Chains A and B, each alone.
Chain A
Amino acid sequence: MEVKALVISGNGTNCEMETAYACRYAGASTDIIHLSNILNGNSRISNYHFLNLAGGFLDGDDLGSAQVESIRLKYARIKGEGPTLLEEIINFINNGGLILGVCNGFQTLVKAGLLPGNPIGKRRVSITFNDSARFEDRWVRLAINRKSPCVFTKGLDQIELPVRHGEGKFVTDTQHTLKEILEGNLATAFYSDKEGSPTMAYPDNPNGSVGAIAGVCDVTGRIFGLMPHPEAYTHATNHPLWTRLSLPERGQGLAIFDNAVKFLKGIR
């Protein structure tokens, strides 16, 4: 069957093009749709299987990253009086869809209460200013939690990707939530040191995220949020050390998109 991926653009989303490229490379037929086309009812999220919330600076990060977007999802109604965007997305999830939120997309997922998503719509975790109090572009090593139900990271142990954010520090409302996320293996990816162990040490952990958490999924493993950018590593030449190492031509970041497409093909 054909896997159809959707990448939403508009209001400051920046990474739609390379995200769509990664989806296509992984075998999904992909559309980039401006949010206004969903709001006016011309395009429907439910026509797709794989929803991508890509990186960027929605509304300029002005009230905090993805804060305005989370309000938009909750209050803006399709065609003015239809369901809210959030209702549309929850519907999409209930029908078995996959969602990948990267960077600003991850921030959107947590602020809209879709991650960890228990209960759905309640904000229990957030992402705030880096401990360095500055935006940084640097590559990090991620250790993947093999016990995580996340469908996007199946078969992966370690992956190198760039972070590019000023607000990337993952925090929880309570210790209890953190425990629940760790024990439920919802923490999917950790910032790690050279040996592959999760670390709190800067710059391997670039932002001071609690539990060194770089990515989180929901209990079904079908909704995944990740601060580093898998769509920025689709070709060997993206890697900062490619002129020093011999790397496979296919960038490691593609594995995340491959897994999404494989999963969708497998269950239908």
Chain B
Amino acid sequence: MAHRVEVGLKPHLAKARGEKIKNQINRVLSAGREIKAIICLDIYNIDAEDIDDLWLREAFCDPVIQDIAIDRPLSKDFHWYIEIGYKPGVTDNIGHSATTALKLISGHTIDVYSAKAYLIKGTLNRYMAERIAYGFLGNTLIQSFRIFHPKEISGGITPYIPKVEYLSAQGGPTVEEISLEISDKELMELSKNRVLALNLEEMMAIQRYLRDPQVLDVRKQYSLGPKITDVEIEALAQTWSEHCKHKIFNAHITYEESGKKEEIVSLFKTYIQGSTNKIRKRKKRQDICVSVFTDNAGVIRFNKDYNLVFKVETHNSPSALDPYGGALTGIVGVNRDPFGTGLGAKLIFNTNVFCFASPFYNKRLPKRILHPRRIFEGVREGVEHGGNKSGIPTINGSIVFDEQYLGKPLVYCGTGGLMPATITGKASHTKEVKPGDLIVMSGGRIGKDGIHGATFSSEELHEESPTSAVQIGDPITQKRLTDFLLKARDLGLYRAITDNGAGGLSSSVGEMALLSNGCRIELDRPPLKYQGLSPWEILLSEAQERMTLAVPKGKIDRFLSLSCQMGVESTVIGAFSDTGFFHCTYKGKTVAYLSMNFLHEGLPRLKLRAKWEEKEIEDVTTPEPEDHNERLLEMLSRLNICSKEYVIRQYDHEVQGGSVIKPLVGKDRDGPSDAAIVRPILESMEGVVVSNGIVPRYSAIDTYHMTACALDEALRNYICVGGDPNHWACLDNFCWCDPIESEKTPDGPFKLAQLVRANKALSDYTTAFGCPCISGKDSMKNDYIIGETKISIPPTILFSVIGKIQDAKKAITMDIKHPGDMIYILGITKRELGGSEYLASHGMVGKTIPKVVAASAYKRYKLIYKAIQRGLIASAHDISDGGMVVSAAEMAFAGGFGLRIDLSLIPAEKGMNDTEILYSETPSRILISVEPKNKDRIEKIFGGDASCIGRSTKDKRFKVKGLGQKTLIDVDISILKKAWKSTLGF
């Protein structure tokens, strides 16, 4: 008989945990039906017969704070009992730790399955109890639920043992052979049914490959016929997925704009790689790029001994289905990118940007969509656990809210690393694999988790989206893995490393094998979480926390013994070769034999059509507020402007000890920082500067200027803390709605034109600012289509900037430092309210989109850097969402001082009125505060570009005088701050 253990905090300590959940639920329950109390219990289901109660008490109960009950209930005082465990095969981190604890105590390996129980008090019917269980407490995709009325469990609760049963047919897993000599229609059905996400032309390319007599001859030698094996077609589908091969970015596009046609062969090569090449050539010896676009992450120089490694990924589709697991695997997944770059980097920071629909959304939810509030909270928690537990500080981030993210949220997770420039005498940023090197898989085991993640994310979210693509990460297994591999790296025990992400071994080995030109994987060798996986599933599984390495034969014994000592499982699963073939065997029999060239180069190039038509957008008159005070308070409380402290505080932003500029700054440590700085080498004052820019609202007008503004926002944030504009680089991260013309997407040519225009802007502006893209990512199918409902995200691009400040002591923050300081605005204010937060607050878009003038902006940024280096600027804050007045208010309340601002002193385009000057979002503008003693030096540096528009004051009033010299705004800064903080003050 299995056993069941209930553990709960002692009654006088139990309140906090239950109270938090209770309040979250009661907020949405109608009055009078509230829950009275919730008690949370930890449940351990023990899959063993003979077990000593003492072991269980020792392992699971802290007698100072907890009570324990074995095979009996801890409490009978409740109206509903809800228990939530994991479905079979889902990663159960608590269960694993419980097994570890019992093994230490007893010496026996005992399987434990964890669950959480919620004892609910309150007069609810079963329907309500179920709604609470499924709607708040758990996720039916990955968890299993048991909901009981006390009467139903008077005889006790049976243990829940979600063991994966060995389901495979007699004789063990088999390999299916599939004939491709079928009609076009059948080819497409095959693609759809197997979630291959391949189009007809791609299916036909595979069909042609298998008709080639030479190919057939080679296959015969390995007892393979003209049919393709499931292992082969799945490997091809992963390798050729949009996710892995970026088909749209490499497509041949015929682009039409105002009657002119242009042929673009690969947006990526033309614009992204093209601009980076141009910048590098121009910068000559000042070029900081070390490795761009070739590895899992981009690499730039930090100083002569160290390089920086940076990557940002998205994990949108999994986060839509299971926000917690999706975001957790998002962050621990992107950790493995810098970690799998070159010889591997030590991870030094995380940065996250999320795009959600409003958490206060109160309309009917389309099918399969979780409430945005749940997505918000799940993603927040997933990133909290992934980042905090891994010991990587989350130093910077942002959240964008827009109803168009209801169908798919965007979850951008980024990680930076630091790598010695050379390791055991070799350049650390390059990879080498020699024929004969062993293929080693280190870290977690393989299960059915995450199968088809790469192809699943290459489709829109639809009714049959596979739930197997959802999984839960295990940061501690990954931490053990990174501890071990950094040591192995420094001892020179491997030659190359890469991560297992999308596509699993199929991608990781397939890509590394390009370096030796071939490989042979023995699919029966990787350790499995449970039996019954088919060979193709082993090859494709995206089970987390695994790295693939090339280990020279002579070093394998040392490698494996260090691995074992440090508690990490490593297994030799084959060898790299120079045969030119991707070869897989299972129990000695060949199950895949594909030419490397076909696997990687056989994908036909997409041919697409793009047509830009300037939308007929009506310009609007800027609405006049009745009361400017009230208007400002409303603007400060808007989701896209308000404080995100609730999220930020729950992320560890200073582990590793090098925090310099934190995400929250100012007198009361709650002002919004522009960018982050950390010192990765504690002995040195050199700082890494990280910022981001994202403005999807502008896409409604023109993605060209949207892209320019996003880059500019990232750069001006970077500049505001003192980053060096001669030492910066960026990552581009595109999230688009499907731009391929089809029945589902009749407006494909327009969406693709939006993408082309974004790329043109990327090229124009990164070149103008001398800020090269070093790596990037695209996620092109961010649509939701179920039934008649289609929800597409607005075209969104995130720029993440990384760079340097030579002496971190010179960094500055955005809060006003003293009373009597002079406030300057840098740059001219134009009537650019199109897509602004102000018009959005009136449900309007407008036409006058903000446009970046790169030449003057770049000059300004370099001068700001110079002035900060000389210590002349007390604070600097960029002007973005909500315009000048929002930035000024933030500077005032973060510093704890009042401000006086006179709008007539702001250099503005002719004809602008007070409201427009206050709320225009003209880019590249920055507010600075300067001590009066530095006035002359500042004015000399900036000349006419800096205009003094007011002063800070000892009193706490925020006052703005209008053009007509009438006081428009007069509010206490504490009231401003309260409005700014209360929206998300959960």
Residues of A at the B interface (CB closer than 8 Å) are 9-15, 17-18, 21-22, 34, 36-37, 40, 55-57, 59-64, 67-68, 71-72, 75-76, 111, 123-126, 128-139, 162, 164, 169, 171-173, 208, 229, 231-232, 234-238, 240-241, 243-244
Contacts of B565 in A (CB 8 A): 36-37, 40
Are A34 and B97 in touch, CB under 8 angstroms? no
Contacts of B20 in A (CB 8 A): 132-134
Bound complex: CA A68 to CA B660 (Å): 34
Contacts of A22 in B (CB 8 A): 657
Are A36 and B62 in touch, CB under 8 angstroms? no
Are B101 and A67 in touch, CB under 8 angstroms? yes
The 3 closest A-B pairs by CB, nearest first: A14-B391, A18-B657, A62-B97
Distance of A102 from chain B, by nearest CB (Å): 12
Are B104 and A71 in touch, CB under 8 angstroms? yes
Within 8 A of A (CB), among B91-123: 93-94, 96-98, 100-101, 104-105
Known: A21-B682, A136-B649, A237-B660. A68 touches B97 (CB 8 A): yes
Distance of A261 from chain B, by nearest CB (Å): 17
Contacts of B649 in A (CB 8 A): 136-138
Distance of A234 from chain B, by nearest CB (Å): 6
Are B476 and A11 in touch, CB under 8 angstroms? yes
Mind listing 19 A-B residue pairs with CB under 8 Å?
A10-B566, A11-B476, A11-B479, A11-B567, A12-B479, A21-B657, A37-B565, A55-B655, A57-B388, A59-B97, A60-B474, A62-B94, A67-B59, A129-B13, A130-B16, A235-B679, A235-B682, A243-B815, A243-B875
Within 8 A of A (CB), among B412-458: none
Are B655 and A244 in touch, CB under 8 angstroms? no
Are A171 and B13 in touch, CB under 8 angstroms? yes
Q: B476: which of A36, A57, A238 is its contact (CB, 8 Å)?
A: A57
Known: A21-B657, A241-B667. A126 touches B64 (CB 8 A): yes
Are B94 and A129 in touch, CB under 8 angstroms? no
Contact with A along B782-799 (1 / 0, CB 8 A): 000000000000000000
Contacts of B480 in A (CB 8 A): 10-12
Known: A18-B682, A67-B62. A129 touches B17 (CB 8 A): yes
Contacts of B875 in A (CB 8 A): 243
Are A244 and B104 in touch, CB under 8 angstroms? no
Are A171 and B64 in touch, CB under 8 angstroms? yes
Contacts of A125 in B (CB 8 A): 64
Are B657 and A232 in touch, CB under 8 angstroms? yes
Known: A59-B97, A62-B98. A75 touches B817 (CB 8 A): no
Are A34 and B566 in touch, CB under 8 angstroms? yes
Are A138 and B479 in touch, CB under 8 angstroms? no
Looking at B66, B101, B480, B651, which has the most chain A CB atoms within 10 Å of its CB? B101
Contacts of A15 in B (CB 8 A): 391, 655-657
Distance of B569 from chain A, by nearest CB (Å): 14
Contacts of B201 in A (CB 8 A): none
Bound complex: CA A57 to CA B480 (Å): 12
Residues of B at the A interface (CB closer than 8 Å) are 9, 13, 16-17, 19-20, 42, 58-60, 62-66, 93-94, 96-98, 100-101, 104-105, 384, 388-391, 474-476, 479-480, 483, 487, 565-567, 649-660, 662, 664-667, 669, 679, 682-683, 808-809, 811-813, 815, 817, 875
Q: B64: which of A60, A62, A173, A238 is its contact (CB, 8 Å)?
A: A173
Would you call the interface of chain A mostly helix, strand, loop, or mixed?
Answer: mixed
Bound complex: CA A14 to CA B660 (Å): 19
Known: A36-B566, A71-B59, A124-B64. A131 touches B476 (CB 8 A): no
Looking at A34, A125, A231, which has the most chain B CB atoms within 10 Å of its CB? A34
Bound complex: CA A59 to CA B98 (Å): 10
Are A243 and B657 in touch, CB under 8 angstroms? no
Contacts of B669 in A (CB 8 A): 138-139, 240-241
Known: A10-B483, A171-B65, A173-B63. A60 touches B97 (CB 8 A): yes
Are B384 and A135 in touch, CB under 8 angstroms? yes
Are A68 and B101 in touch, CB under 8 angstroms? yes
Apart from A60-B476, A234-B682: 12 A-B pairs, beta carbons within 8 A: A12-B389, A12-B480, A15-B657, A18-B657, A21-B682, A57-B388, A60-B97, A124-B64, A137-B649, A232-B655, A238-B659, A244-B667
Are A64 and B62 in touch, CB under 8 angstroms? yes
Are B104 and A72 in touch, CB under 8 angstroms? yes
Contacts of A135 in B (CB 8 A): 384, 388, 650, 652
Bound complex: CA A12 to CA B654 (Å): 17
Are A63 and B16 in touch, CB under 8 angstroms? no
In the complex, the number of residue pairs spanning A and B with C-beta atoms less than 8 Å apart equals: 185
Bound complex: CA A229 to CA B658 (Å): 13
Are A134 and B650 in touch, CB under 8 angstroms? yes
Looking at A61, A124, A130, A244, which has the most chain B CB atoms within 10 Å of its CB? A244
Are A60 and B389 in touch, CB under 8 angstroms? yes
Bound complex: CA A173 to CA B474 (Å): 33
CB-based nearest A residue for B21: A133
Are B63 and A137 in touch, CB under 8 angstroms? no
Bound complex: CA A15 to CA B97 (Å): 21
Contacts of B811 in A (CB 8 A): 237, 243
Looking at A22, A60, A126, which has the most chain B CB atoms within 10 Å of its CB? A60
Known: A21-B657, A128-B13. A56 touches B60 (CB 8 A): no
CB-based nearest B residue for A231: B657
CB-based nearest A residue for B812: A243
Contacts of A62 in B (CB 8 A): 93-94, 96-98, 476
Are A63 and B94 in touch, CB under 8 angstroms? yes
Contacts of B391 in A (CB 8 A): 13-15, 56-57
Bound complex: CA A34 to CA B483 (Å): 9
Contacts of A57 in B (CB 8 A): 388-389, 391, 475-476
Are B656 and A18 in touch, CB under 8 angstroms? yes
Distance of B160 from chain A, by nearest CB (Å): 18
Are B60 and A133 in touch, CB under 8 angstroms? no
Bound complex: CA A45 to CA B827 (Å): 62
Bound complex: CA A162 to CA B567 (Å): 31
Are A133 and B808 in touch, CB under 8 angstroms? no
CB-based nearest B residue for A240: B669
Contacts of A237 in B (CB 8 A): 659-660, 679, 808-809, 811
Are A244 and B815 in touch, CB under 8 angstroms? yes
Bound complex: CA A208 to CA B634 (Å): 34
Distance of A179 from chain B, by nearest CB (Å): 16
Distance of B278 from chain A, by nearest CB (Å): 36
CB-based nearest A residue for B385: A60
Are A172 and B64 in touch, CB under 8 angstroms? yes
Are B654 and A244 in touch, CB under 8 angstroms? no
Bound complex: CA A36 to CA B662 (Å): 35
Q: A131: which of B16, B60, B660, B664 is its contact (CB, 8 Å)?
A: B16
Are B566 and A128 in touch, CB under 8 angstroms? no
Are B63 and A232 in touch, CB under 8 angstroms? no
Are B16 and A132 in touch, CB under 8 angstroms? yes
Contacts of B817 in A (CB 8 A): 243-244
Q: A128: which of B65, B100, B101, B389 is its contact (CB, 8 Å)?
A: B65
Looking at B62, B662, B813, which has the most chain A CB atoms within 10 Å of its CB? B62
Contacts of B98 in A (CB 8 A): 62-63
Distance of A221 from chain B, by nearest CB (Å): 23
CB-based nearest B residue for A66: B62
Bound complex: CA A133 to CA B66 (Å): 16
Bound complex: CA A250 to CA B128 (Å): 58
Contacts of A162 in B (CB 8 A): 654
Bound complex: CA A37 to CA B567 (Å): 11
Bound complex: CA A9 to CA B480 (Å): 10
Contacts of B666 in A (CB 8 A): 244
CB-based nearest A residue for B565: A36
Contacts of A235 in B (CB 8 A): 679, 682
Contacts of A231 in B (CB 8 A): 657
Distance of B636 from chain A, by nearest CB (Å): 22
Q: A137: which of B62, B64, B653, B656 is its contact (CB, 8 Å)?
A: B653
Q: A59: which of B100, B660, B815 is its contact (CB, 8 Å)?
A: B100
Contacts of A232 in B (CB 8 A): 654-655, 657, 659
Are A12 and B476 in touch, CB under 8 angstroms? yes
Contacts of B660 in A (CB 8 A): 237-238
